[in-house]
Each structure stands twice: as structure tokens, then as C-alpha cells.
Amino acid sequence: MANGPRIAIDAMGGDIGPAVMIAGMARARRRDKSLRFELFGDESKIAPELEKHRPLVEAVTIHHTTDAIESSEKPSQAIRRAKTTSMGLAINAVKTGAADAALSGGNTGALMAMSKLALRTMPGIDRPALAALLPTLGNTDCVMLDLGANTECDAQNLVQFAVMGSAYARTVLSLSKPRVKLLNIGTEELKGTGELKKAAALLREADYLPFRFEGFTEGDRLSRGDVDVVVTDGFSGNIALKTAEGTARFVTDLLRRAFTSSLRSKAGFALSKPALNLLKVHLDPNNHNGAVFLGLNGLVVKSHGGANYKGVANAINVASSMVRNDITRKIGEDLDNFRAHTFSDEAAE
């Protein structure tokens, strides 16, 4: 089998560490034999876990380090240990070309800060953004960004997020012309902040780009399946994503209470179980694991700290799909296109 994407893995990140990361790697490789891994972390903890997944061994190169970023560490402290920690070294492997993408389940702020410092933002991107897939009632998931990398964003940032998010949707969701909307508190043109209105005006004019801008959407429409890319600042995006997660758990908790409230409903639950398992699969965050830092000169994927091995495998699939589709190049082309039009407009005035 030809050599496929090489993924640098931070073995020490996440709530559980090497056991779940390595089990996830094994699962991902069972599906895709061409994957190879550069694995960074404490060899004494890695080796016994690798023993449990013998077929994986031939695809893994171990890079030993005992230094690791703690989940509570400040990004400003973490970046000082870029050269010694498993997270920093995994990112550096992307910088040097030893790997095509890096993946970590560790401290998000530290991962973002280290990635920015090592990989730098792409030409035309002021700030990278964190993007992820949300389940919907439609045929495909939708992409949402930014999910917390930037607490405050101006119109230019939002336009750049739209360009990056639509490149991501074209790649990972195989859509030729994704529908893009800005998250707002109403769909009328006069709603929202000044920056949102400015971003909408810019996007309305950018009809030469490979997406359709369809105006504003609201929080209650996110899972309806009528939008492919939801663009927002990192503060609102993080609030929306976490509120959606919390509400889904809230409803399923109420459902569990309802089903255990009487013998009769317990019997109903037993009968409905196969159907309800489909619901569980659809809502399981592990099936949507793998948030992506877009806008850097290199690919970095964030796995949820609490993801299980299926979630880690899913995040690895996200990373390898982006490598295969050369998403960084696609984003670059769209940005060049956008800037060429903007500058020629200005010159014509």
C-alpha cells in the first residue's frame, strides 16, 4: 500500500493520555492501512499500550519526551516549552515537514498559541479559527467556526472565516458550493453588530468565490440542515457549541428519567432500544470529534479531551482527509482570488 498521510500525535494530551490515543490510532489504521504516525510522549507509558495493538507498530515512530503540557497551564507559559513537550514537538513535526498534520487532545489554548507561533498564519489571514462539524437533520453535518480561538472579531476576520470554512466544507463534506451564513440574533439586515453588517456586505459582493452567501441565521436554525457553513466570532461560537452540547445532554437526561420512571416505560424502552441507539450514535460527540485550526501554514487538529478511542480515530480521519484534499492550498487559492477581486475593485474606483 502506498504511503498515506503522516500524522504527528501528542500521546500525552487529553484526559486519559496514551491508552486512548493509541487505541484510536489502531482503529483509524484498521480502516486506512496507508496511515503513518509520528508519536510524541513518554516511551515508558507508550510502549505497553502499543503492545496491545501489534499491527500498529510498523506504522509508528516513537519520539520520547517526558515533558507534557498540563490542561490548566496558561498558553503564555506553555509556548516556552515548545521544544521539549509532546504537544510542541508534534506541532514542530508539521513545521519541519516530518508530518502532514498534528493532533492533540490537550489544552486548547496552549495548542492554539504553539501552533500559531510555529506555523504562522497564511498570507491573507489575520487570525486562524477553530472549526468543527455539527450534526443536523439534513443529509450532511454543518461546519461552524470560530469556536473559541478569537473572542472578538472584526468584519475582515469573519470574511476570512467564511473563505476557510467553505474550503473545509468542500473538502470534508464534499460539497461543490457550500451555503454560508453568518450567525446573528435575527435574519433582518438591520440586526446585529456593525462588524456583522459589514461582513455581510463584503460577502454579498464576493459571488465569484466557491460558496453561496445566504445572509444571517439564528441559533435555533443551526441543526435544521439549511446551512453548510456557520460563521461567527469565537465567543458566540463557543457559547453556541457548548449550549448545543449541554442541551442535547439535558434532553437525553430527561429522556432517561422518563424511561426509568415506571415499569411500563422501562418495557417501552426495551422495545425501542434498537431505534434509540441510532439516536445515541447520531448525538455521540465522539462521532463529531476533531476540531480543526484553519488558516495556518500547516494542519493541526484538536481532539476533545474526553474523547474515547472512536473519537480519536474520527479526529485522525478528519486530519488525513484534510491532508489528502490539500486543504491549505485550497484556502490559499480562495484567499488569493478574494484579494485579487478586492484590490481590482479598489483600483477601478
Q: Which residues contact 156 (CB under 8 A, 6 or more apart)?
A: 126, 199, 202
What is the strand order of the sheet 291-294 is part of? 60-64, 36-41, 6-10, 101-104, 299-302, 291-294, 129-134, 142-145, 229-231, 179-183, 212-217
# chain residues binding its own copies, by CB under 8 A:
64
27, 15 Cβ separation under 8 angstroms: no
CA distance 109 to 204: 33
Q: Map grid coordinates 486512548 to a residue.
A: 20
Taking the complex as a whole, the smallest distance from the CB of residue 274 to its own copies amounts, in Å, to 7
Taking the complex as a whole, the smallest distance from the CB of residue 65 to its own copies amounts, in Å, to 26
Residues 277-296 within binding reach of its own copies (CB under 8 A): 278-279, 282-283
C-alpha cell of residue 199: 461582513
C-alpha cell of residue 201: 456586505
Closest CB to its own copies among residues 253, 345: 253
Choice from 66, 70, 262, 345 touching its own copies (CB under 8 A): 262
Q: Around 70, how many Cα atoms within 13 Å sit in the side-chain half-sphere?
A: 5
C-alpha cell of residue 177: 458550493
110, 79 Cβ separation under 8 angstroms: yes
273 sits near its own copies (criterion: CB under 8 A)? yes
270 sits near its own copies (criterion: CB under 8 A)? yes
Q: What is the CA radius of gyration of the chain?
A: 21
Residues 211-230 within binding reach of its own copies (CB under 8 A): 218-224
CA distance 345 to 62: 52
Stretch that binds its own copies, among 95-103, 113-121, 187-195, 325-333 (CB under 8 A): 187-195
Taking the complex as a whole, the smallest distance from the CB of residue 340 to its own copies amounts, in Å, to 33
Closest CB to its own copies among residues 28, 180: 180
**How long a stretch of residues is the chain?**
349
Choice from 3, 139, 176, 190 touching its own copies (CB under 8 A): 190
- Say which amino acid occupies 104: S
Q: Report how far Cα 221 is from the mean position of its chain's Cα atoms.
A: 20
347 sits near its own copies (criterion: CB under 8 A)? no
Taking the complex as a whole, the smallest distance from the CB of residue 316 to its own copies amounts, in Å, to 25
Closest CB to its own copies among residues 201, 251: 251
Taking the complex as a whole, the smallest distance from the CB of residue 247 to its own copies amounts, in Å, to 4
234 sits near its own copies (criterion: CB under 8 A)? yes
Choice from 133, 172, 241, 316 touching its own copies (CB under 8 A): 241
Residues 86-145 within binding reach of its own copies (CB under 8 A): 135-137
Choice from 2, 271, 347, 348 touching its own copies (CB under 8 A): 271
CA distance 196 to 156: 10
164, 295 Cβ separation under 8 angstroms: yes
80 sits near its own copies (criterion: CB under 8 A)? no
Binding site for its own copies (CB under 8 A): 72, 74, 135-137, 148, 151-152, 183, 185, 188, 190, 192-193, 218-224, 232, 234-236, 238-255, 257-259, 261-262, 264-265, 267-276, 278-279, 282-283
